[in-house]
Chains A and B, each alone.
Chain A
Amino acid sequence: MIEPTTSEEYTENGAQLTPEQAIANLQSSDLSLRYYAAWWLGKFRVSQPEAINALITALTDEDDKTELGGYPLRRNAARALGKLGSPQAIPGLIQCLECSDFYVREAAAQSLGMLGAKAAVPTLITMLDGSVAKAVQVAGRPHLTQPYQAVLEALGAIGATEAISLIQPFLQHPVLRVQCSAARAMYQLTQDSQYGEFLVTMMHKSDLKLRRSILGDLGAIGYMAAAEAIAHAQAENSFKLMALKGLLEHQLTSDSELSDQAVQVMNLMDSLL
């Protein structure tokens, strides 16, 4: 059994910070300390107002810039803000959708999806302009013109039903991972099982890396009919448990009695320990 080192192993990362130090470090003259502090605040879910404000300020940072014009600190700040659950971050993140740095746009789209930011929908929709025809690889770079995956998933998570007709064509995108993101969003927006089944079918025929990400999709959409397929997928138990946890959470809307389906999911989870 090979398991991914990043998600599986515990690592003691760098300096031991306190929230106060991390917030202060966001203004340090040492750029690497700023970068680390932004990551740390998200990782440890430090959601006090000072942290949120400092991270929002970091979304427009000009000091930390790579040779290719990337903004590492902005990327980390955008990622952290998605985890902290504060709607205050939404306007700044929406502006980040127009940043020249692909990875800032990607992080912002992901975080806006996590925040369920309805206000971001118009800008997210413009990022699909030109549809599949324009969604091509950027020459010399390892990514497409826009972070389509993140945009499609965000529109699904936010519940942007007005975007359905714009999302659907991406089911035919040449990149399989983009197809999966489109199916994930389509399921969330329509609850039509054909999109859940599409993901299950893709999981059977894809490679390990894609299978892992599809497990994430199925967990995120809580597609109950996939429970058995998840438990028997050719992937590490950690990914399957994560996916089943997603299914379980979708079954637990009211906090009283456990449904038969919830028990069924937990029995599958038990078998994967």
Chain B
Amino acid sequence: MTEELINAVNQAETPTQMVTAVKNLAAAKDPAAISTLIAVFGYNNPAAALVAVKGLIELGEVAVPQLLAQIDDYNYGARAYSIRTLAAIADPRALDLLISTAATDFAPSVRRAAAQGLGNLNWSQLTLAESQNAINRALETLLLICQDTDWSIRYAAIVGLQALAKITAVQEVIVQQFQKMLTDDTETAIRARVQLATHSLELTAS
């Protein structure tokens, strides 16, 4: 059954046929579909890619190993979908990839998705010792890219830090970083996003 659905994706001739075929394949919710769904990211069909993203997010953790293994180093459009999917599934096995992507990918769209994802991983899936180490590494990366020259990267870093600040152990460092950006950042839009983040932290703290 799934095999037929996979064939339909591979044989789709028009963009519309592709979207329909991917929809049907995603609806099967079969781990056997994972590899084909990831391949759709590279087909330059945004509608189909979004359906594939959604399907993979629904499959969740079981899709993570292949998402990590099938990262397309040569197509940043495809890579952006992979990173978004991993960020949404939030499995901490994606940590290393999200760190290197947020810090060093050349495409801002991909870096933003990774930065946002870094704040939101399911740390509870790790042992206590592992999670402390992982949280600190995510924090370091986000603090580093708060100094990026591209405002949109800093914006995504703030969103990532706001999520990470749910963890009490790192909250103080994050609040300090926000205070610093509130006075130092040259972009009013960035300062506004910091204000919003600070506000939401105060709400959760009280």
Residues of A within 8 A of B (CB): 1-3, 8-10, 236-238, 241-242, 245, 248-249, 252, 255, 258, 262-263, 266, 269-270, 273
Q: Which of A245, A262, A273 contacts B115 (CB 8 A)?
A: A273
Interface residue total, chain B, C-beta cutoff 8 A: 28
Given A2-B44, A270-B159, A273-B113: A245 touches B108 (CB 8 Å cut-off): no
* CB pair B188 A258 closer than 8 Å: no
Residue B107 at the chain A interface, CB threshold 8 Å: yes
> C-beta contact mask, B40-73 vs A, less than 8 Å → 1, else 0?
0000101001000000000000000000000000
Q: Which of A1, A2, A3, A252 contacts B188 (CB 8 A)?
A: A252
A266 to chain B minimum Cβ distance, whole angstroms, is: 6
| A-side contacts of B155, CB under 8 Å | 241, 269, 273
> C-beta contact mask, B107-124 vs A, less than 8 Å → 1, else 0?
111001101100000000
For A8, A238, A241, A273, which residue has the most chain B Cβ atoms within 10 angstroms?
A273
| A-side contacts of B188, CB under 8 Å | 248-249, 252, 255
* CB pair B199 A236 closer than 8 Å: no
Cβ < 8 Å to A, chain B residues 155-206? 155-156, 159, 188-189, 191-193, 195-196, 199
Q: Looking across the interface, which residue of chain B has its beta carbon closest to that of A269?
A: B155
Q: SS class of chain B's interface: helix, strand, loop or mixed?
A: helix
Q: SS class of chain A's interface: helix, strand, loop or mixed?
A: helix
* CB pair A236 B109 closer than 8 Å: yes
Residue B94 at the chain A interface, CB threshold 8 Å: no
> C-beta contact mask, B8-52 vs A, less than 8 Å → 1, else 0?
000000000000000000000000000000000000101001000
Q: Looking across the interface, which residue of chain A has its beta carbon closest to that of B117?
A: A273
Q: Once bound together, how far apart are the Cα atoms of A104 and B107, in whole Å? A: 32
Q: Once bound together, how far apart are the Cα atoms of A258 and B198, in whole Å? A: 12
Residues of B within 8 A of A (CB): 44, 46, 49, 76-77, 80-81, 106-109, 112-113, 115-116, 151-152, 155-156, 159, 188-189, 191-193, 195-196, 199
Given A1-B77, A258-B199, A273-B116: A237 touches B192 (CB 8 Å cut-off): no
Q: Once bound together, how far apart are the Cα atoms of A242 and B112, in whole Å? A: 13
For the complex of A and B, list the 10 residue pairs with the smallest distance between their C-beta atoms, beginning with the closest.
A1-B77, A273-B116, A273-B112, A245-B189, A273-B156, A248-B189, A252-B188, A241-B152, A10-B106, A9-B106
* CB pair B192 A266 closer than 8 Å: yes
Q: Once bound together, how far apart are the Cα atoms of A267 and B11, in whole Å? A: 39
Q: Once bound together, how far apart are the Cα atoms of A3 and B112, in whole Å? A: 14
Q: Looking across the interface, which residue of chain A has its beta carbon closest to that of B112?
A: A273
* CB pair B109 A1 closer than 8 Å: yes
Q: Which of A238, A249, A262 contacts B152 (CB 8 A)?
A: A238
